[in-house]
Amino acid sequence: MEDLVVQTWRDDKEATHVCEERDGLRKQFKGSWRWVVELLDEVEKEREAKLTFEGKASQAIATAERLRQERDEVRQNEGRLCSECDTLCGECDEAQRRVGSL
């Protein structure tokens, strides 16, 4: 009978030890899980920041391209207007010569 009591005592002690280990592992798992969730949150924030940056960069590139096109149009208009101005100046000079010869 004494062996049975000793065995029961040992089993209870072992069960307590197993429960303590289980509780420790649960705490460790919960801590690890929180760490994983925090890490995923941080990764998501960085991804959003990257997308925001990429979006702004894309907008800046599109704006730069639009401004280049507008600049090219202004240069073409400038060239056309200069040519028209030269033509008109030539016509004006011709008209003044005609008036002066009368």
In a domain, residue 43? The reply is yes
- Residue 84 within a domain: yes
pLDDT exceeds cutoff 90 at 100: no
Q: Is residue 15 part of a domain?
A: no
pLDDT, tens only, 43-82: 999 999 999 999 999 999 999 999 999 999 999 999 999 9
Give the chain's domain count: 1
Core vs surface per residue 50-60: b (16+ CB within 10 A) or e: eeeeeeeeeee
Extended beta strands in the chain, E state: none
pLDDT digits (tens, 9 = 90+) for 18-42: 888 888 888 878 778 788 888 899 9
Residue 69 lies in a domain: yes
Assigned domain for 8 exists: no
> Burial letters for 83-96: b for 16+ Cβ neighbours within 10 Å, e otherwise?
eeeeeeeeeeeeee
Identify whether 7 is part of a domain: no
Euclidean distance between CA atoms 72 and 77, whole angstroms: 9
Give residue 73's domain range.
23-102
Cα separation of 17 and 23, whole Å? 10
* Residue 18 covered by a domain: no
What is the pLDDT, as a whole number, of residue 61?
Answer: 96
Confidence at residue 79, expressed as pLDDT on a 0 to 100 scale: 92
pLDDT, residue 68, reads: 96
> Between 90 and 7, where is the model more confident?
90
